[in-house]
């Protein structure tokens, strides 16, 4: 049960990142008319989010193959980095689409939302690991 919830949360984060980044790219291009909003939610975001949920599992499995996750003796570090990256990218892309006014404050030249996203991703990774990470026991 926990494995399914963990996979579902990861796929949801990946889908949100994909939809947010594509919406942001269209907002910055001459096709910005595609990002019309209803109640401050871009219609393009909703449609791409629904499509992204379908492909999120494949994207996650592709990255596992790309970084040889199954072949590693110790899988925990790459698992932590992957989960942290999902949290980080989801926060950044969501702020860029839904709260662009939050991108203005700076901390010594660095956008403050990046600092908060990094700190939140670190804390969320630790909490997520305590709840969901179960090391796979290798039979010798």
- Walk along the chain (140 residues) and give the pLDDT tens digit of each residue: 777 888 888 999 999 999 998 888 887 777 767 677 777 778 888 889 999 999 999 998 888 888 888 888 888 788 888 888 999 999 998 888 888 887 888 878 888 889 999 999 999 999 988 888 776 666 66
100 within 8 A of 28, measured Cβ to Cβ: no
Best CA proximity match to 69, nearest among 50, 53, 82, 56: 82
C-alpha 4/C-alpha 14 separation (Å) is 15
Stated pTM of the model: 0.79
- Domain residue spans in the chain? 2-132
DSSP 6-52: HHHHHHHHHHHHHHHHHHHHHHHSTTGGGG-EETTEEHHHHHHHHHH
Best CA proximity match to 115, nearest among 103, 126, 100: 103
For tokens 């019309």, name the residue.
Answer: 36
């Amino acid at each position: 049960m926990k494995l399914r919830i963990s996979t579902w949360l990861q796929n949801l984060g990946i889908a949100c990142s994909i939809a947010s980044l594509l919406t942001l790219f269209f907002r910055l291009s001459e096709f910005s008319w595609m990002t019309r909003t209803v109640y401050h939610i871009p219609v393009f975001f909703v449609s791409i989010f629904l499509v992204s949920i379908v492909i999120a599992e494949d994207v996650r499995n592709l990255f596992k193959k790309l970084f040889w996750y199954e072949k590693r003796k110790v899988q925990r570090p790459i698992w932590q980095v992957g989960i942290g990256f999902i949290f980080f990218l989801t926060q950044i892309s969501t702020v860029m689409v839904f709260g662009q006014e939050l991108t203005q404050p700076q901390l010594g030249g660095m956008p403050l939302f990046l600092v908060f996203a990094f700190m939140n991703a670190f804390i969320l990774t630790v909490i997520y690991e305590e709840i969901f990470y179960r090391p796979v026991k290798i039979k010798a």
